[in-house]
Chain A
Amino acid sequence: MIGKIVKTSVAVLMGASVAYAGTFNTQAEKDRQALVKYMEKKFSDPAKNKQFFPYASAEDFKSLRKGVKFEEFRLGSYAYDKQGRSQYEEINEMPPYEDAIDAGEELYNKTKGIKQCFPDPAIAGEYPKFDEKKGQVVTLSVAINDCLKANGQKPWKLTKGKLADLEAYFAHMSKEAGKKVNITIPSKAAAAAYERGKKNYYSQRGYLKLSCATCHVQGAGNRVRREVLSPLLGHTTHFPVYRLKWQGLGTLERRIKGCEKNQGENPHKPGSQWMSEMLYFMAYMSNGLPVDGPDIRR
C-alpha cells in the first residue's frame, strides 16, 4: 500500500518536473511541429497541394517528387527536386569533402586545447547552445574560436578554411555515431533568444524586402530562376558543405551570407548575436533529424 503511494507520488513528481523542464521550449516545439506538418503536407503530393505552389505549371509539378519523408528534408531541395537528386547522388559516389574530414581530424588532434574543450567530437547536433553563464547563444563556430582564444591562439575565419575542416570532422563523427539534431532551450533567457532568432528569420529585410521564410518556407519547392528552393526544415543538418560554386568547403554562416546578399541586405557578421540567435532558431526547427554533414551542394 505504502509502496503504491510512494510510486504514484514519484510518478506525479516526475510528471511535474518534466512539464517544468518542458515549459521553456513549449512555443518552440509548437513552431517545430507546425513546420514539420506544413512541409510533410506540401511534399506528400505537390500536384495535389497546389495551394502551396500557386504559380507552378503542370510541367513544374513533374519535376517534384511525392511522399517525401521527414528524414529526407535534411537533403535540402534534393529531397523533392528529381533532377537535383540524381546529380547529387552521382557526385556523392566520389564525395569531394573527404580530404576536409581528414584535415579536420588532424586539427582536432593537434590544435592546442581543442581536444580538451571538445572531448567528444560527435557534437555537431548539440549546437547552437544557450550558455547560461554568458547569457547568450553560442554556435559551434564561436565555441571553437572561444576555445582557441582561451588557449592563447588566434581565432579562425568563421566561413571556410580550418574552421570548416574541423566542423566537417565533428559532423562526420556525429553522423557515424548516428546522432540527431538535439537543440535545447533550458531557460527563460534561452526562450527569449529563440524568439529573437525567429523574428530575424521572418522579418522582411534588405532593399528587396524579402524574408528568409519567403523563399525557404512558403517558397520551398518553387524556383528562383532555375534554383529549386530548399526547406527551412533540415537547413542546418548537413553543414559544412562542399559547394561546386565555391570549389571548396564552407560553413552554414558562409552560405547564409550569400542569401543575405541576394536579399539586398548587408550580411550580418558570422558570430554576431543576430546571426547566432537566428541559427539557434533554425537548428531547433531541425530537431530530431539525423546529423548528415558534411555534404555537397551545387
Chain B
Amino acid sequence: MQGMKLWIAASAVVGLLSVSASAGNADLVKQGEKIFNTKKIGNCLACHDANGKNIDNPGNLGPKLQGLSAWPEQALYDKVYDPYTTNPISAMPPFGKNGVLSDAQIKAVVAYLKTIK
C-alpha cells in the first residue's frame, strides 16, 4: 500500500517534469509573466510598465520596457541577474545575484521579456 502511494507520487512527479520539459515556450512565457506581475516573487511591475502588455498599475521608477524582443537572451538574463554589471548605479535590484529569483525563474522571465515589442 505504502509502496503503491509512493509509486503514484513518483510517477506524478515524473509526469510533471516531462510536461514542463516539453511544454515549450508558451508555458515558460506564462510562468515568466506571473513572476513579473506577482508581488512576492519578481514584482517587476512595481517599477516597470511593458509595451503592448496589460500591466495593472505599473510604477515608473524604472523605464517602460520596450523593444526587448530584439535583445539577446543573455543580455536580458544578465540584466535581471545583476543590473550592476552594465549599470553600477542602477536602482534595479540584482535578482539573481542575491538569490531572489532562481536560474529557472530568471529563464522564464527572460522568455516573457522576449515577447515585449
| A interface with B by C-beta (< 8 Å) | 53-57, 60, 207-210, 214-215, 218-219, 222-227, 229, 264
Contacts and interface: CB of A to CB of B under 8 A. Distances in A.
B91 A226 contact: no
A229 B62 CA distance: 13
B45 to A, nearest CB: 7
B94 A224 contact: no
Contact of A219 (B58, B61, B100): B61
A222 B58 CA distance: 11
B30 interface: no
B63 interface: yes
Contact of A224 (B59, B64, B99): B59
A182 B64 CA distance: 41
Given A57-B60, A209-B93, A210-B91, A225 B100 contact: no
B99 A207 contact: yes
Interface of B: 45-47, 57-64, 91, 93-94, 98-100
Given A208-B93, A209-B93, A209-B98, A225 B46 contact: yes
B60 A207 contact: no
Given A208-B93, A209-B94, A222 B100 contact: no
A55 B63 contact: yes
Interface SS majority for chain A:
loop
Nearest to B58: A225
24 contacts: A55-B61, A55-B62, A55-B63, A55-B64, A56-B60, A57-B60, A207-B99, A207-B100, A208-B98, A209-B94, A210-B93, A215-B61, A222-B60, A222-B61, A223-B59, A223-B60, A223-B61, A224-B47, A224-B59, A225-B45, A225-B46, A226-B57, A227-B59, A264-B100
A224 B98 contact: no
Contact of A57 (B45, B62, B64): B64
Given A224-B46, A226-B59, 10 more contacts: A53-B60, A55-B61, A55-B62, A207-B98, A218-B91, A222-B60, A224-B47, A224-B61, A225-B46, A225-B57
B54 to A, nearest CB: 15
A224 to B, nearest CB: 4
- Residue in B46, B61, B63, B98 whose Cβ sees the most chain A Cβ within 10 Å: B61
A84 to B, nearest CB: 14
Contacts of B93: 207-210, 264
B106 to A, nearest CB: 15
B65 to A, nearest CB: 10
Q: Which 5 A-B pairs have the closest CB atoms?
A: A208-B93, A226-B57, A207-B98, A223-B59, A55-B63
Contact of B63 (A54, A209, A218, A219): A54
